[in-house]
Structure 1
């Protein structure tokens, strides 16, 4: 491994969680501090200096814009430090895809930024945290990891932030990547990339904003009332993501109500509540000025729409262009 150090940004989550018993189902996330965590790694002899900072020690369900801002600014500072090889962020798995995608879109790609978590707390039978972390450090230490944007490392696999999503509630291989699947395989002793880096030398795609516009996600269900759309707009939504049936579909009353809010200047993105598959444009999108989410699920579609609106991009055609190039 090359000389230098890896910055570790700790935010808590299951990887820092304690159950108090090796077999208890319930546990408390974010109980182990970064210093204690790094001490437990000493015997692994990872071959690189690790410098840790404790940003938070919470479950990722409580992560939001203020912590994102701090992580973003610290990652930018790490990019400018010539001795820093890369950044590893320990993070709960529940919202890892949102944090990863937001940072992926707002950071340059000069150095690796890796999110890593665990599905089992540190004192559970078969805890996966230390192995996942060792794998993340190996990825961060590899010069070929640069130019791939932010990545997520879990269960010996590497996922691009544009693809990663949590797809199981408790299995250790809980994450999937769509549409590209994993972009690499990693263990504490090996690393293989499945293709070349695709963002070499690329700067940040969008400027980070702490106060991003509110974007609501509407989850489609049978018998859904158009009042859901009205309530979202009255609640301050500046954009709406539809987590629709199948190919981003919804009851006719919902589609008509969404077309009305688009005419009022509130962009609407059609995504799908289905686990996999593209949401492509369809004829009604042209007449209603809807945006098709393409490969992005509702959570990441919301983040992208927030970033676009925060950066002054509100025209549906422009928004569609940005979604289509993910």
Structure 2
């Protein structure tokens, strides 16, 4: 991996954050530039040539369509550059799974694309940023990382974008993969894949659109009333994702309101508010025209429905096929 060229796109987040004290609880994300970050990494003697670009230096709660567009354009340029072997994106952890999944669906799988972040700022006791970064370099520089879609590297684990989700607010082991768990294990000196690549030489599944249709997430709760469905539609939603109870359930009144929305041309996806919630396709889904999110949680289900709508896929059967595949 000595001559491996990896493009590093920096967006900020905790991995570039500082607190001004090793024991202070609060901190400011996005304080370290990509130049300074790579200078620190150079001291580790990583066997790769890292070329950095600063796209933003913000917390990931502020990432949105315009930054996604610029990152996506840059990633496509790197995909076309024969000198580049892999792409890394430093990212805050709060929305890393959404960026990862969006790019997983809209980039080809020819080269590794790896998101990496940290749970502790750079100057905290036990900071995990440098180790995560070194691990991500090893993954992005490995030819066998291609053909797996976009990957997320945290806490010595490699997660597929479709599976990755942030499950804890504290601690360095904050991410888990559902339903598959990690797809590999990595340290600064070793890398092991738990199976063969499953998307070898696959083109982008969807065209990227900066301005995607509005899709709203409705979070189910006891006593929820049907007027919340109408409020989302009145707000301009062209699609709805239900973060339902258990296996994507809701009260009879909510299901009736959602079925009415489908009749008006608004697709509805049933997801679950449960962290490890698998939502299977049911006979009632055929009756009402609902789409089952399978293993996708509400945020990713929203992104996939947006992509389907933006690319003209509105048929429930075709949409269900997109939610079923890995």
- TM-score past 0.5 threshold: yes
1 CA distance for matches of 2:44 and 2:198? 32
The separation in 1 between residues aligned to 2:251 and 2:168, in whole angstroms, is 28
Residue in 2 that maps onto 1:60: 60
Aligned counterpart, 2:254: 254
Q: TM-score, normalised by structure 2?
A: 0.99
1:213 corresponds to which residue? 213
> Can you give the 5+ residue segments of structure 1 that lack an aligned partner in the other structure?
none
Contact kept, 8 Å, 1:2 with 1:141, in 2: the verdict is no
Contact (CA 8 Å) 2:19, 2:27: kept in 1 or not?
A: yes
Aligned residue number for residue 122 of structure 1 = 122
Change (3 A) 1:189 1:4: closer
Q: How big is the shift at 1:286?
A: 1.3
Task: Report 1:33-112 matches (<5 A).
Answer: 33-112=33-112
Q: What per-residue deviation string (whole Å, max 9, x for no partner) do you get for residues 55-95 of structure 1?
A: 00000000001111111110111011111110000000000
Structure 1 residue aligned with 2:26? 26
Aligned length: 326
Q: Which structure 2 residues correspond to residues 161-240 of structure 1 after superposition, within 5 A?
A: 161-240=161-240
Q: Paired residue for 1:245?
A: 245
SS at match of 1:84: coil
RMSD: 0.7
CA deviation profile, 1:276-325 (whole Å, cap 9, x unmatched): 13100122111111000001110110000000000000111111111111
TM-score normalised by L of structure 1:
0.99
The residue matched to 1:131 in structure 2 has which SS?
helix
Deviations 1:105-134 (A, max 9, x none): 000011000000000000000000000000
Cα deviation code 1:163-184 (max 9, x no counterpart):
0000001111100101111000
CA distance in structure 2 between the aligned counterparts of 1:251 and 1:94, rounded to whole angstroms:
30
Measure how far apart 1:256 and its partner are: 0.7
Q: CA deviation at 1:235?
A: 0.3
Question: Which runs of 5 or more structure 2 residues have no equivalent in the other structure?
Answer: none
Give the Cα–Cα distance (whole angstroms) in 1 for the partners of residues 41 and 217 of structure 2. 40
Show structure 1 runs of 4+ deviating over 3 A.
Answer: none
